[in-house]
Chain A
Amino acid sequence: MKVPMTEYLRIDLDTEKWECRVCDHVIAPAEGNYKEGLLVHNRNPRDIHPPIIDPEKYRFTFSPDPDWVRILEFCCPSCGTQVETEYAIPGHPPLWDMQVDVAALKAQWAARGPSAVPDAGPVVMPDRGHGH
């Protein structure tokens, strides 16, 4: 049984692996940090939140200060889907944000059965495949 844990990640309870819900790529062991199986990009926050007022004239521009904060973008190495973002202080180790008790998860879903699996998920893109 495969349990969707986030918009783009699921755990295969049989193989005990994190998987991409868009392309079925096997990402990492379920008891570990899924981020270890993803790619990371250190994004300048000004790319995403552009200055609204002129940065040549003003100290504060509606755009985050790139010396104070960065955006870590985590994507699937197979399909490039952006799985998670993390606004991080420069140099701060990325968080192990979801540390799952896999044995408890298996027991919980053994009692529920597969019919209880929620059906929300990523947009179905025929040329990218989907796994839910």
Chain B
Amino acid sequence: MNDMSTRAKMPSTEEITLIKKFLDDTTLFLGPDPEIMQNHDLMPRTDIEDAAITTVSDAHTVAKIRDRIQAGCDEGFEMVEQMGAAPGAKWGDVITGVYSASGDLAIASAGGVLIFSALVHHPIKFIIKNWMNDPTVGVKEGDGFIHNDSRYGNVHNTDQSMILPIFHKGKLVCWVASTVHEGENGAIEPGGMPSMAESPSDEGLKMSPFKVVENYQIKRDILTFLQNSVREPKLQYEDMKVKLFACLRIKQRIEETLNTDGPEALVATLRLTMENVRAEVKRRISEWPDMTVRTYIIQDSTLRENCVVKINCKLTKIGDRLIFDFRGSSPEFTNRATNTIVAGLKGMLAQVFLCYVWPDLPRGQAAFAPIEVITDPHSIVNCSYDAPNSQSLMSIFTGFTAGQHAVAKFLYSCPEKFTKVHAPTFNMINTFIWGGVSQHGETLGNLCADLNGMGAGATVNRDGEHALAPVFATMADIGEQELNEEEVPFLQLVSKKMTRDAIAPGKYRGGQGYTMMVATKDSEQWGFMTTAQGAKIPPLQGLFGGYACGTYPLCKVKDVDVYDVLMNEPERFRHSIEDLMNEQPFDEASYSTHHMGMGFEISKRGELFMISQGAGAGYGDLLERDPGDVIKDIEEGLISPGVAARLYKVVFDAKTLAIDFDATEAARAEERQARIARSTPYAEFIKGWNKPKPPAHLQYFGCWGDDTGTLYMGSPEITRRGDQPRPNYMTHPKDVRIAELEARLIAAGAMGDEKK
């Protein structure tokens, strides 16, 4: 036997230097940088910032300059919202901001999508790290960079940023950027958020940060390439210009400040704003009780098939530390699009605080900077580079809800609150994504902004508001459908009508959502898709005895032209999903229901696609609900009289709705006794209820019970360790269906002599 040692020889210092130089000189691909992508805290204070703060730290001066910059950001936001071509721009799916020279988002526009506040600093840091000193790229005055690939820092690839460095007398003082949900990006389905994506290669444009503007002019050759890569080339051009000019307006406001107060004042203001917000967040956290809160939210599909996907959340507060622990959440799906990069999850958690807990804080990266987040690698909330994430919304929204649900339990006892204790708001984008060729011959791909009408959760002292705002942008709008219909070949035949009995009961009920019925009219090349979960399991939890929402399916009526019906037999039409589906008023039509992950489907003229927005969660014991409010809900068409009487135990006259208060109180007292009678002591209950593994009849993904280190992968018998990634492939739903049907054929002896 040869005496060969397997131990490697340790390289000398000189050799290590040489190896490092070799690797630096021969990097084959500058992919997403984990050092950048895993860090959401502020960059260290630089010597320049330190010197600036030594020169200027007067609170009044800082406040004055911050307000000027804030106004500039809001001005840029308005420009994008007013001039942007994308539906997302028109309805507020936008952020503009000023970033420090190191790339931290110091001040963001007050409106729009604040999730970006914890995300779009990553590509700027990539530019600083890789392009600033690269002789083939460089960062000069007049340059502009574009970016959309979520793996370099973004929610999903529909969002595009324009990033400009700002110089003063030849020195970089800060950055400005504008980010918009553009929609179309050339993916395998129109609209930019393909649920059919099985790998990143199906997700359309993947722009790592690169230079697209020189001397403040968009480079036409690169622009043409981008236009050639998407379905809406005119939109691509228009919105790049809009974002560029919004950035230039913010630049103008910054230069006015530089001229009046000097660069030190600007640099000090940006830095102190972030440091002060960060310190204030730590102080506010320290006022919460030291506690661990556990919750989980269930996704009931991958948008391709129904299954059970757990988002597991343990939130711990110790002193001035707040730690989100999402370990135990589902493994990533190797060939499904519902994964998110961890920065996306952090962005939505930042949204919990900026919009629902501390809305008084200046908008920026600092509000979430000191909060810690732990995840399993290659999990659905921290996916790998190779996993598709175009439907990351599914995981960041359910992650958001887990955070919102947990935070409420900390806030209740706090003497100092900045908002009311709040049950979870509805979290799914129940809307239609559309695409095809319009009545004007334009190729289009985008969505109905009705997704912005999520029902709000109830609060400690009032009902949730209906169809209020999306969880990712509390200042967004649902748009004007009539204006939209001038550009797209379909009508919303029923819209803005609340879906009766789609409720979230409680002492204070959740705000409800409205019904949307759409039908294509003037195009033979037009279709829809829907991308939401929650048709089998609600995607929320209730709060303090309140209930979550129900579930929301997609309903279709095919083999009918409702426009002919409306023209010739209008009395046959019904204005609710309930009546249309139960009464089936159109002869020869086919009626069906589906989960909310409909892949892009061409629709024929007059076929109905019908969905409902969802309700926010309820708060408190429903037997404490004011009987008068229950009757008001009946009068407003939110709940049917039978359901109201049965659930809320309110006794009223069926014709006049007059309340019998004594009988109501008696019925409620009786129900409390009935609860006690039908319930079981906890220790006894869990003996029959608790099971050691997930049920075999469900495809279950994630941890089970207290063992957060073992992740189930679709079967009680298949697992991985949380910290040890494994591929997690799903079978094509059509193959699953074919196998089911073949099994039935074999069982019936009807397969014949088909060769294998």
Cβ B544 vs Cβ A6 within 8 A: yes
Known: A57-B591, A58-B593, A62-B552. A80 touches B544 (CB 8 A): no
User: 8 A-B contacts, Cβ less than 8 Å apart?
Assistant: A50-B643, A61-B593, A62-B501, A77-B676, A84-B544, A89-B694, A89-B700, A94-B686
B289 in complex: contacting residue of A39, A40, A42, A104, CB < 8 Å: A104
A7 CB to nearest B CB, Å: 4
Complex formed: what's the CA distance from A8 to B546 in Å?
12
B673 within 8 A of A: yes
Complex formed: what's the CA distance from A99 to B295 in Å?
12
B296 CB to nearest A CB, Å: 7
Q: Which residues of A contact B686 (CB under 8 A)?
A: 40, 93-94
Contacts A61-B593, A80-B675 known; list 11 others, CB within 8 Å.
A39-B676, A39-B681, A40-B685, A50-B643, A53-B555, A57-B591, A58-B553, A69-B537, A74-B682, A105-B291, A117-B415
Interface size on B, residues (CB 8 A): 92
B410 CB to nearest A CB, Å: 9
Q: Which residues of B contact A87 (CB under 8 A)?
A: 298, 537-538, 540-542, 548
Q: Which residues of A contact B643 (CB under 8 A)?
A: 50
Complex formed: what's the CA distance from A116 to B414 in Å?
9
Complex formed: what's the CA distance from A123 to B125 in Å?
52
A110 within 8 A of B: no
Within B580-595, which residues are at the interface with A (CB < 8 Å)? 581-582, 591-595
Known: A61-B553, A93-B686. A52 touches B577 (CB 8 A): yes
Q: Which B residues are within 8 Å of any A CB, using their own CB?
A: 289-296, 298, 300, 308, 310, 318, 409, 412-415, 417, 421, 460-461, 499-503, 505, 507, 535-538, 540-542, 544-555, 577-578, 581-582, 591-595, 612, 619-624, 643, 647, 669, 671-676, 678-683, 685-686, 689-691, 694-695, 697-698, 700, 704-706
A26 within 8 A of B: no
Q: Which residues of A contact B678 (CB under 8 A)?
A: 41
A73 within 8 A of B: yes
A40 in complex: contacting residue of B293, B500, B679, CB < 8 Å: B679
Most buried by A among B540, B541, B621, B695: B621
Cβ A3 vs Cβ B413 within 8 A: yes
Q: Which residues of A contact B612 (CB under 8 A)?
A: 62
Cβ B551 vs Cβ A64 within 8 A: yes
Cβ A60 vs Cβ B551 within 8 A: yes
Known: A69-B537, A84-B544. A5 touches B294 (CB 8 A): no
Known: A7-B460, A40-B680, A53-B578. A81 touches B697 (CB 8 A): no
Complex formed: what's the CA distance from A80 to B222 in Å?
68
Q: Which residue of A lies closest to B461 (CB)?
A: A120
Cβ A36 vs Cβ B705 within 8 A: no
A60 CB to nearest B CB, Å: 3
Cβ A71 vs Cβ B675 within 8 A: no
Complex formed: what's the CA distance from A98 to B624 in Å?
23
Q: Which residues of A contact B294 (CB under 8 A)?
A: 95-97, 99
B643 CB to nearest A CB, Å: 6
A65 CB to nearest B CB, Å: 4
A86 in complex: contacting residue of B417, B536, B541, B622, CB < 8 Å: B541
Known: A6-B544, A60-B595, A81-B545. A91 touches B689 (CB 8 A): yes
Cβ A82 vs Cβ B621 within 8 A: yes
A92 in complex: contacting residue of B291, B461, B578, B704, CB < 8 Å: B704
Cβ A41 vs Cβ B550 within 8 A: no
- Total A-B residue contacts, Cβ distance less than 8 Å: 244
Q: Which residues of A contact B694 (CB under 8 A)?
A: 89, 91-92
Complex formed: what's the CA distance from A96 to B314 in Å?
10
Complex formed: what's the CA distance from A80 to B697 in Å?
34
Cβ B502 vs Cβ A52 within 8 A: yes
B579 CB to nearest A CB, Å: 10
Q: Which residues of A contact B591 (CB under 8 A)?
A: 57-58
A-B complex: 6 closest residue pairs judged by Cβ atoms: A80-B672, A91-B691, A60-B553, A49-B550, A39-B679, A104-B290
Q: Which residues of A contact B536 (CB under 8 A)?
A: 60, 64-65, 68-69
A122 CB to nearest B CB, Å: 6
Known: A69-B537, A99-B292. A82 touches B502 (CB 8 A): no
Complex formed: what's the CA distance from A96 to B406 in Å?
12
A15 within 8 A of B: no
Interface residues on A, range: 35 or more
Known: A64-B537, A82-B623, A120-B461. A40 touches B682 (CB 8 A): yes
A121 CB to nearest B CB, Å: 9
Q: Which residues of B contact A37 (CB under 8 A)?
A: 682
Q: Which residues of B contact A82 (CB under 8 A)?
A: 545, 621-623, 675
Q: Which residue of A lies closest to B312 (CB)?
A: A95
Cβ B500 vs Cβ A52 within 8 A: yes
Cβ B289 vs Cβ A108 within 8 A: yes
A54 within 8 A of B: yes
Interface string of A30-43 (1 = CB under 8 A from B): 00000111111110
Within A1-60, which residues are at the interface with B (CB < 8 Å)? 3-8, 35-42, 45, 48-50, 52-54, 57-60
Complex formed: what's the CA distance from A101 to B239 in Å?
52
Known: A7-B544, A101-B291, A120-B461. A68 touches B308 (CB 8 A): yes
Cβ A65 vs Cβ B537 within 8 A: yes
Q: Which residue of B lies closest to A117 (CB)?
A: B415
B598 CB to nearest A CB, Å: 12
Q: Which residues of A contact B620 (CB under 8 A)?
A: 7-8, 122
B544 in complex: contacting residue of A8, A96, A100, CB < 8 Å: A8
Cβ B503 vs Cβ A75 within 8 A: no
A68 in complex: contacting residue of B300, B541, B706, CB < 8 Å: B300
Q: Which residues of B contact A68 (CB under 8 A)?
A: 300, 308, 536-537, 698
Complex formed: what's the CA distance from A64 to B540 in Å?
12
B354 CB to nearest A CB, Å: 23
A122 in complex: contacting residue of B624, B675, B682, CB < 8 Å: B624
Complex formed: what's the CA distance from A5 to B691 in Å?
30
